[in-house]
Amino acid sequence: MLPFTFTTKNAEIYLRRAEPADLPRLIDLNKRAFPLMAEENVVWSERQLTNHLKLFPEGQVVAEIGGELVGAVASLIVASGRDPYRAHTYAGITDGGYFHNHDASGDTLYGADVYVDPDWQGRGVGAALYEARRRLCQNLNLRRILAGGRLANYAEHADSLTIEAYVEKVKSGELQDPVLSFQLKEGFSVRGILRNYITDPMSLNHASLIEWLNPDYVEHEPSSKVRVACVQYQVRKIESFEDFASQVEYFVETAADYRSDFVLFPEFFSVQLLSVIEPLPAIDGIRHLSKEFTKPFVDLMSRMANKYNLYIIGGSHPIERDGKLQNECMIFDPSGRYISQPKLHITPSEQRYWGISGGDELIVLPTPKARIAVQICYDVEFPEASRYLADQGVEILFVPYCTDDRHGMFRVRKCAEARAIENQIFVATAGIIGNLPSVQAMDIHYGQAAVFTPSDFEFARDGIQAIADSNVETLLVTDIDTEDLYRSRAAGSVTPRLDRRTDLFELKVNLKNMKTDVEMTDGPEIDLPK
């Protein structure tokens, strides 16, 4: 679809995806294109544009003439629901301009902005950008393009015409509006009027709701349902690695039998492997586990993910990096590849007994079913990290944990519930149960697997989608619907994501991987049974 060249009688216009290096020019261009809106401080910020590129890079397109950036469009995907023409505001449909509500499984490309350098207006740049958006809609097999169009000349006629009468006169050609007249020429139809859509003195905050229907759209039934399995794993003394592998495969196979998309294991469940050897002091044992069992552990989990065609959230396992020991959760995809999320916040006992250090990366993993991330146990007790992940579009947060007693379990559980409510995401948790008397620092455990939701009409009573009986070895399986998240965010009883006071509070992030994409590692070569 991109890049391509759009030819007009005035210019050769080159269309391509926006890149991070374009951001300073885009911010300046947006201010130049909308000077009155710049005065109202409703133009793009660097944080917003950065988010657009992270969440939906395909929808951010720029136009160049002779190497000079002269225009751009910003788009996101939303679900139309039962009423695609329902009233909405710009802030609501774009999540305050940050696109956190971009829904890859939606059916509608929403046009958030089109802007052209004033020096290049009238030379076909706008037409080229609209063509890029149409091609994107067709390429992604989306049903429509929808947008709220500024009514740029309405303020001049407001004394004599209602907004409805103004739109009708523009549609009939009696009046010209620089935005709506152009959109009608580009094949869009007016579906309604949006009041208090955006702060814009020229349109007195009104907008036309416009639509372009994709003539090539092929009807399909996208599913926003996700099936999650949480393993309440009982650690017990075993005699060999094969015993451990058999116990793990039992749960993965069962999750696959229930057609689960994701299966979550608890934190430190691999420490069970230390019961195979003679007892060691805690620090020696955890380093032995890292040195001797990391490769067979990775091989096993990679093979299981590939064999059963699902995602395995691999609890956690100690990994040595540059002489330091980290507590890491490896996420394995159905091809057997994996990516590793380190625990950031280390408990006093982890430091005292095992000498574990905290990591400095937070990973967001887009999957065909949902955008996911992991916070290991203690990490979910710190709201900043969860807020950051939600701002990157995470829909399901997986929390593997290992707690000794009921107090510890409830610390994790209550914080997981809070993260689900305040960020309007799903949070799935799984904890260890059982005893390992021969393994230091792993004596007793208390666990209760659960899946938590926001607390609103779309979700289960009490914000608990599913919960297991405590301290019983089992597999908790439940369905969640990511579309419920977007409905709740847009029109819930409360809208905490939208109502944040960013003028008062700002989240500062210094993660090591902020500026880079973290790639999945290829799994080992696997010979599967024929």
- Taking only the tens place, the pLDDT of each residue in 258-293 is 999 999 999 999 999 999 999 999 999 999 999 999
Q: Where are the alpha helices (DSSP H) in 328-378?
A: 348-349
> What phi and psi, each to the nearest 5 degrees, are found at residue 195?
-95, 145
Is 522 a residue whose pLDDT tops 70? no
Q: How many CB atoms lie within 10 A of CB 100?
A: 22
pLDDT in tens, 424-461: 999 999 999 999 988 988 889 999 999 999 999 999 88
Q: Which CATH number fits domain 4-213: 3.40.630.30, 3.20.20.70, 1.20.210.10, 3.30.70.20?
A: 3.40.630.30
- Antiparallel, parallel or unpaired: β 225-235 and 262-264: parallel
* pLDDT attached to residue 397: 98
Query: Which whole number is the average pLDDT over 63-90?
Result: 92
CA nearest neighbour of 340 among 510, 523, 526 = 523
Query: Which whole number is the average pLDDT over 97-110?
Result: 89
Q: Which amino acid is at 153?
A: N
Is 527 a residue whose pLDDT tops 70? no
Query: Which whole number is the average pLDDT over 116-130?
Result: 94
* CB contact at 8 A, 5 and 15: yes
pLDDT in tens, 18-41: 999 999 999 999 999 988 776 666
pLDDT in tens, 297-307: 999 999 999 99
Is 518 a residue whose pLDDT tops 60? no
Decide which of 122 and 108 is more confident. Answer: 108
pLDDT in tens, 316-373: 999 999 889 999 999 999 999 999 999 999 999 999 999 999 999 999 998 989 999 9
Band of residue 500 on the pLDDT scale cut at 50, 70, 90: confident
Phi-psi region of 142 (alpha: psi -120 to 50; beta: other; left: phi over 0): beta
Please give the CATH number for the structural domain made up of 225-491. 3.60.110.10
Residue 369, H or E segment: none
Query: Where along the chain do the CATH 3.60.110.10 domains lie?
Result: 225-491
As a whole number of angstroms, the distance between CA 400 and CA 28 comes to 44
* CB contact at 8 A, 212 and 187: yes
pLDDT in tens, 405-433: 999 999 999 999 999 999 999 999 999 99
Contacts of residue 527, Cβ cutoff 8 Å, sequence gap at least 6 = none
As a whole number of angstroms, the distance between CA 2 and CA 443 comes to 58
Give percent above pLDDT 90 in the chain: 78
* pLDDT attached to residue 466: 97
Query: Where along the chain do the CATH 3.40.630.30 domains lie?
Result: 4-213
Is 507 a residue whose pLDDT tops 50? yes
pTM: 0.71
Is 521 a residue whose pLDDT tops 80? no
* pLDDT attached to residue 474: 97
* pLDDT attached to residue 528: 35
* pLDDT attached to residue 7: 93
| Active centre residues (catalytic) | 267, 343, 377
* CB contact at 8 A, 76 and 69: no
Is 221 a residue whose pLDDT tops 70? no
